[in-house]
């Protein structure tokens, strides 16, 4: 059951990771100030992200899923899942300048739930490993 919940939490977290990444890239692209620097930064980001960013994203997701499937390393997967969800939550909430509305907070609700689940999973797996 823990493996199924871990895999579900990982899949639920993926759109939030993409959204947080988009906020970071957009913040970097918009920091130039002029229209020419905007296009230059956007082109540079796209040229890097298309081959290397997609590959890194796929490898990171595969590594995260693999950690959840391993009995010995599931605690590390839960910890990584919790840290990624915490980083995504902080990035999305801190980088958006609009005032918070109830719909936005409801949209962000799965991220804190994944933070709690990942921390609980890491604790429960470490405790189970220590009792053996």
pLDDT of residue 39: 83
Q: Round the average pLDDT of the chain to a whole number and report it.
A: 90
pLDDT category at 73 given cuts 50, 70, 90 is very high
Q: Is the pLDDT of residue 47 over 90?
A: no
CA distance 64 to 31: 32
Nearest CA to 94 among 42, 39, 30, 19?
A: 19
Average pLDDT of the segment spanning 74-103: 91
Containing structural domain, residue 50: 2-131
pLDDT band at residue 25 under the 50/70/90 scheme: confident
pLDDT value at 30 more than 80: no
The residues, ordered by sequence, that sit 6+ positions from 38 with a Cβ below 8 Å of its Cβ are 29, 30, 32
Q: Encode pLDDT of 97-125 as tens digits.
A: 778 888 888 999 999 999 999 999 999 99
Total domains, the chain: 1
């Amino acid at each position: 059951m823990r493996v199924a919940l871990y895999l579900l939490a990982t899949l639920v977290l993926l759109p939030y990771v993409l959204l947080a990444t988009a906020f970071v890239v957009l913040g970097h692209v918009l920091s130039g100030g002029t229209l020419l620097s905007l296009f230059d930064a956007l082109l540079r980001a796209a040229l890097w992200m298309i081959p290397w960013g997609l590959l890194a994203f796929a490898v990171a997701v595969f590594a995260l899923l693999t950690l959840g499937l391993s009995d010995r390393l599931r605690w590390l997967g839960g910890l990584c899942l919790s840290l990624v969800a915490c980083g995504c939550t902080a990035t999305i909430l801190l980088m958006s300048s609009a005032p918070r509305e109830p719909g936005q907070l409801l949209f962000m609700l799965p991220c804190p739930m994944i933070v709690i689940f990942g921390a609980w999973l890491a604790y429960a797996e470490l405790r189970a490993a220590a009792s053996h």
